[in-house]
Amino acid sequence: MDSRYDIVWNNCLETIKKNVNSQSFRTWFEPIKPVKLDGYILTIQVPNKFFYEWLEEHYVALLKMTIRQELGEEGRLEYQILVPQTNARTSTIDNTTSRKSSFVKEEDSNAMFSSENIKNPFVIPGIKKLKINPQLNGELTFENFIEGDCNRLARSAGVAVAKKPGGTAFNPLVLFGDSGLGKTHILQAIGNEVVSKLKTKTVLYVSCEEFTNQIIQSIKNNAVNDFVNFYQLIDVLLVDDIQFLENKIKTQEIFFHIFNQLHQNGKQICLTSDRPPKDLQGIQERLISRFKWGLSADLQAPDFETRMAILETKMSREGVDLPNKVIEFICYNIKNNIRELEGVLISIIAQSSLNRQEVDLDLAKQVIKNFVSEISKEITVEFIQKLVASHFNLSVDKLQGKTRKRQVVIARQLSMYLAKKLTNKSLKSIGENFGGRDHSTVIYSCKAVQDLLDTDTIFKDTVTDLEKKITMSLHE
């Protein structure tokens, strides 16, 4: 057995980092731990089977390339998969022999409860027998949730949980991120999917604030045992905004007891938070440790393409049609919150209807001023061309022409690179602004610039300065 596995894997990570975006690297590669190097076989430990399957589906070629780069053509990669049982399975890219490991979790006392005579904090007036309303919004489904790089892990984990609640490694599933990014939508979508497909399962969605109020009432009524017993009947418990448990000691104690019993009985727990479990303050460490048992998946602000898809889907549901320029303008200015994005659309439609005003850019600007303090100017390919041409003492015509002089080629390629990075234009549209060049030329130019950025510090400083000038121009 070789002790070089850390060095080998760190070298692999350096190569991988250059081939994936920073969010994907943090999500899929930083959690991996190298555990052994045996000859030409490197063993890495991944958190769960879903993690392994995602790597195999999306990054197998990259992993093969990096491993063989470090260990030669005979190099192979073996996965050690942690599962919430007493054994772990191992799988490999090249179908090597499986190996075993163990995953130890805390054990607590188990208990069984009867549903007879248990009071329901969600009781429906006039219905005497125990009947649990799942508290779901039927419109919040996976079909209505737009997937992008910003939320793919969270949505995929939610789908996996909904298909097999309590039967995956994602228990609990913790979804975290800023307000308005879709955490509640995924939480409710899990519930709706289970209610639709697994009719024997009892599902309950509750906000942490409502949960806390129920506990206060149960304490006042001397009915805490009934309250706990009721929650232990739930098969899929969905708790929104778990950060509101902070500094509520009694609520934490009761939630801890409910969490333990549900988890030990194979019930599914899904939580949302505005920050990752490790950053929650004023919550007992024993609860934090349990939140980390399963999968924590973050949702980030959607990119431009995802924002466009969200708006177009919303428009389709509302039966409205807006000019493409207006949609692009909205998405360019509303960047961090999906609720605001949809709010702007609704406001524009309302203003247009009430005032019998045509939907155009002027109306969009008028509405957006109520949502953002400053409307961004749009960066255009033409502006980038002028700025780069001026820096290299060239005319824009040179960038659009066919000359192959080195200085002109570098300036042209840099202009394409900045246009791709800083505008919302397609590769085809960018190419058309450079004398009708095709998208493959733009791709090649962007790669050439990236290679220079990786090797030439002076060129990198030049690009950084140009980007700053472009950004500053937005606020002039």
Which residues make beta-bridge pairs with 42? 37, 77
**8 Å CB contact between 196 and 78:** no
Beta strands in 41-97, from DSSP E residues, in sequence order: 41-46, 76-81, 89-92
The answer to whether residue 115 scores a pLDDT higher than 70 is no
How many residues are present in the chain? Answer: 476
The answer to whether residue 18 scores a pLDDT higher than 90 is no
Query: What rounded mean pLDDT belongs to the chain?
Result: 81
Rounded Cα–Cα distance for residues 395 and 380 (Å): 17
* DSSP per position, 226-251: HHHHHHTT-SEEEEE-GGGGTT-HHH
What are 280-294's pLDDT values in tens digits? 999 999 999 999 888
What are 246-277's pLDDT values in tens digits? 999 999 999 998 999 899 889 999 999 999 99
> What amino acid occupies position 108?
D
pLDDT of residue 27: 77
**8 Å CB contact between 418 and 445:** no
Among 107-111, 272-276, 332-336, 401-405, the range of highest mean pLDDT: 272-276
pLDDT of residue 172: 92
The lowest-confidence range among 81-95, 157-171, 433-447 is 81-95
What are 318-370's pLDDT values in tens digits? 777 787 778 877 877 777 778 888 888 888 888 777 777 777 777 877 777 76
For the entire predicted model, the pTM comes to 0.57
Rounded Cα–Cα distance for residues 53 and 75 (Å): 20
pLDDT of residue 113: 32
**8 Å CB contact between 233 and 115:** yes
Rounded Cα–Cα distance for residues 252 and 261 (Å): 14
Dihedral sign of CA atoms 115, 118, 124, 125 in order: positive
The conformation of residue 135, written as its DSSP 8-state character, comes to: -
Domains in the chain (CATH in brackets) are: 5-92 (3.30.300.180), 152-298 (3.40.50.300), 304-368 (1.10.8.60), 381-473 (1.10.1750.10)
**8 Å CB contact between 189 and 145:** yes
Mean pLDDT of 28-57: 83
| Percentage of the chain lying above the pLDDT 70 cut | 85
How do beta strands 41-46 and 33-38 pair? antiparallel
